[in-house]
Amino acid sequence: MAGALTITTPTDREIVLTRTFAAPAALVFAAWTTPDLLRRWYGPREWQLVVCEIDLRPGGAWRYVTRHVDGAEMVQHGRYESVDPPRALVTSEVNDDCDAQAGSDTRATTDFVETGGGTVVTTTVRYATVQIRDAVVASGMEYGVAAAYEQLDELLVTTTSVGGGPA
Amino acid sequence: MSTDTIDATFAALADPTRRAILARLALRELSVTELAAPFAISQPAVSKHLKVLERAGLVTRGRDAQRRPVRLAAQPLREVTQWLEVYRRFWAESFDRLDGLLEDLQPPHRQEEH
């Protein structure tokens, strides 16, 4: 029932992610909004969610800190604009790297639609300006660098074993 | 990678006609006349779209004075794809972990359906 992730960029300021999960909407919604559950899945495999604070109500704040195995940290925070369990969630994210101007937040709308035996989750991320999207691009590249280091590690391990070096 | 390049590339890609133009150029190079043919828009309108694509470095024009064939230039697309790939990886890996968590959280009778 779980499906492939699709990502589209309908405009230069929007990204849409769609994914199906083999669980009822209530459970998927809980996984999206409960710190103890988020810690168990949020972030690619070499990143860990070390701080997860959630005040799940309209206007309530959220704050995530993810840490890479090499110690690098990424801080994300914002507010819940609308909370409609288990159907929809609208969050804003404050962009600290940019000029902190009112209305410069990134807005993410997530819809949870239950279908036979599963839940289709669609997240539409809308950046307030292309400058903010560019800042996200730049921070995204940090993940790319981390991935590159990881590949280098794997290469070094392979090279060592091929060369018959110490285990 | 320059964010200016990504900026221009995203702006160029935001338009469905320009995406359709690029999709056709991915198959082979074409003249402006050939490009305009399947679209319900004029040649000048197609030329306008081509200027945007050219500024974004997504297409180049050939030297042939008569035909000036339009060709797809792959590099900026590759840069945008590379960024999306990093983004995709973040979420794809997170969601794979979520699959495992959701399976753990569900009562056993649901898992018998597998």
The DSSP line for B21-77 is HHHHHTT--B-HHHHHTTSSS-HHHHHHHHHHHHHTTSEEE-S-TTT--EEE--HHH
Contact assessment for residue A140 and residue B87, using Cβ atoms and an 8 Å cutoff: yes
* Among the ranges given (A33-42, B34-43, B103-112), the one the predictor scored with the smallest mean pLDDT: B103-112
What rounded mean pLDDT belongs to chain B? 80
Cβ atoms within 10 A of the Cβ of A80, count? 19
Q: What pLDDT, on a 0 to 100 scale, did the predictor assign at position B85?
A: 73
Q: Give the helix ranges, DSSP H, for A1-129.
A: 25-33, 35-38
Q: What pLDDT, on a 0 to 100 scale, did the predictor assign at position B49?
A: 92
**B3, containing H or E segment:** helix B3-13
Among the partner-chain residues A17, A31, A137, the one whose CB lies closest to the CB of B91 is A17
Over residues B56-71, mean pLDDT: 83
For the range A4-9, what are the long-range contacts, defined as Cβ-Cβ under 8 Å and sequence gap of 24 or more? A5/B88, A5/B91, A5/B92, A5/B95, A7/B84, A7/B87, A7/B88, A7/B91, A9/B10, A9/B13, A9/B14, A9/B84
**Is the minimum CB–CB distance between B55 and chain A shorter than 8 Å?**
no
What's the CA gap between B71 and B30, in Å, rounded?
Answer: 7
Q: What pLDDT, on a 0 to 100 scale, did the predictor assign at position A44?
A: 85
Question: Model confidence at A115, in pLDDT bands (50, 70, 90)?
Answer: very high
Q: What pLDDT, on a 0 to 100 scale, did the predictor assign at position A39?
A: 93
What's the CA gap between B52 and B13, in Å, rounded?
Answer: 10
Residue at token pair 């753990």: B104
The alpha carbon of residue A64 and the mean position of all alpha carbons in its chain are separated, in whole angstroms, by: 10
| Nearest chain B Cα distance for residue A101, angstroms | 21
Strand order in the sheet with A61-68: A6-8, A14-21, A118-126, A106-115, A88-93, A73-84, A61-68, A47-54
Question: Model confidence at B108, in pLDDT bands (50, 70, 90)?
Answer: confident
ipTM exceeding cut-off 0.95 for this assembly: no
Q: What pLDDT, on a 0 to 100 scale, did the predictor assign at position A137?
A: 60
Q: What pLDDT, on a 0 to 100 scale, did the predictor assign at position A164?
A: 38
Over residues A54-62, mean pLDDT: 97
Q: Which residue has better confidence, B9 or B4?
A: B9
User: Which residue, A34, A38, A76, A83, is CA-closest to A57?
Assistant: A83
Verify whether the Cβ–Cβ distance B101 to A40 is below 8 Å.
Answer: yes
CA atoms in the 13 A half-sphere facing the CB of A50: 12
Q: What pLDDT, on a 0 to 100 scale, did the predictor assign at position B50?
A: 92
What's the pLDDT tens digit per position in B9-47? 777 877 778 878 887 887 788 888 888 887 778 888 999
Indicate the DSSP class of residue B97: H
What's the pLDDT tens digit per position in A157-166? 443 444 333 4
Within 8 A of B88 by CB-CB distance, chain A residues are 5, 7
* Tokens encoding B53: 């694509």
Among the partner-chain residues A9, A17, A42, the one whose CB lies closest to the CB of B13 is A9
Q: What pLDDT, on a 0 to 100 scale, did the predictor assign at position A152?
A: 44
A81 three-state secondary structure: strand
Among the partner-chain residues B3, B14, B103, the one whose CB lies closest to the CB of A137 is B3
Which of A13, A19, A125, A129 should we substitute to test contact with B (largest number of B Cβ atoms within 10 Å)?
A: A19
CA atoms in the 13 A half-sphere facing the CB of A35: 13
Question: Model confidence at A146, in pLDDT bands (50, 70, 90)?
Answer: very low
| Nearest chain B Cα distance for residue A34, angstroms | 13
Q: Does residue B113 carry a pLDDT above 80?
A: no
* Tokens encoding A33: 């909004």
| Nearest chain B Cα distance for residue A37, angstroms | 8
Verify whether the Cβ–Cβ distance B99 to A21 is below 8 Å.
Answer: yes
Indicate the DSSP class of residue A166: -
Q: What pLDDT, on a 0 to 100 scale, did the predictor assign at position A167?
A: 41
Question: Model confidence at A46, in pLDDT bands (50, 70, 90)?
Answer: confident
Among the partner-chain residues B88, B93, B105, the one whose CB lies closest to the CB of A7 is B88
* Tokens encoding B49: 């779209």
Please give the residue of chain B at the shortest CA–CA distance from A2. Answer: B99
| Nearest chain A Cα distance for residue B22, angstroms | 15
Within 8 A of A31 by CB-CB distance, chain B residues are 98, 101-102, 105
What's the CA gap between A142 and A9, in Å, rounded?
Answer: 21
Q: What pLDDT, on a 0 to 100 scale, did the predictor assign at position A71?
A: 85
Q: What pLDDT, on a 0 to 100 scale, did the predictor assign at position B103?
A: 93
